[in-house]
Structure 1
Amino acid sequence: MRSMSPADVHAVDGAVILDVREPREHERAHIEGTIDIPLGELVSRIDELPRDITVYVLCHVGGRSAQAAQYLEAQGFDAVNIDGGIVEWHRAGLPWTLAGSEG
């Protein structure tokens, strides 16, 4: 399974980011424009993901996204885990939204 830093993913033009966190986590802090599918729903909602482009997978700190990326790879997707999740995304100073305000 491949992994990339949040800064490297942010630098990818048009990156498709799959956020596998739970809705309550997403409501607290999120990245605009992500595809939001909780890990527990990924199997039943896999058809919502594009198969012709790399999917970068995000969670809180990287554990669930690693599981999701491995599953997606097994299903034929080009999937990349985002190291450190949204916590590292925030630490890197990248754009995100916190409970309705820009972070």
Structure 2
Amino acid sequence: MFFGEDVPSAKVADVPQDAYLLDVREQDEWDAGHAPAAVHIPMGQLGDRAGEIPQDREVYVICRSGVRSAQVTVALNNAGWTARNVDGGMQEWAGAGRPMVAESGPGPYVA
């Protein structure tokens, strides 16, 4: 799925250390490896849990590769948040050597 240039985005290196990083992957992906300070709300739960996402600061949205997070970024921006898609997702995050932790298994790794 292609979203064009209409989706605000940020390179992994440009995500601030203190950013609100919203990880929208599924539970097994999260368990395998995620950014230490990320907040986990799977994409399918966003409708019920949107109130947990702050509207007074920029939200950086991440998934495995950037496709699901682009969809969420568009939805959040349309609903009044200020959100940016993290280019390349957790694959790029891991490739850039950014910190990761795992909840289970041999991780952390990107599932």
The reply to whether TM is greater than 0.5 is yes
* Superposition map of 1:1-103 within 5 A: 1-9=7-15, 12-98=16-102, 99=104
Amino acid at match of 1:72: L
| 2:34–2:108 CA contact under 8 A, matched in 1 | no
Summarize the Cα distance change of 1:27–1:52 in structure 2 as closer, same or farther, 3 Å threshold: same
Give structure 1 regions of 4+ aligned residues with deviation exceeding 2 angstroms.
98-103
Please state how far the C-alpha of 1:71 moved relative to its aligned partner: 0.3
Amino acid at match of 1:7: A
In structure 2, distance between residues paired with 1:102 and 1:67: 25
In structure 2, distance between residues paired with 1:87 and 1:56: 15
Please state how far the C-alpha of 1:79 moved relative to its aligned partner: 0.2
SS in 2 for 1:97: coil
Q: RMSD of aligned C-alpha atoms?
A: 1.5
Amino acid at match of 2:13: A
In structure 1, distance between residues paired with 2:62 and 2:95: 14
In structure 2, distance between residues paired with 1:35 and 1:68: 14
TM-score normalized with structure 2 length: 0.85
Question: How many residues of Structure 1 are paired with residues of Structure 2 in the alignment?
Answer: 101
TM-score normalized with structure 1 length: 0.91
In structure 2, distance between residues paired with 1:34 and 1:65: 13
| 1:19–1:57 CA contact under 8 A, matched in 2 | yes
Structure 2 unpaired stretches of 5+ = 1-6
More strand as a share of residues:
1
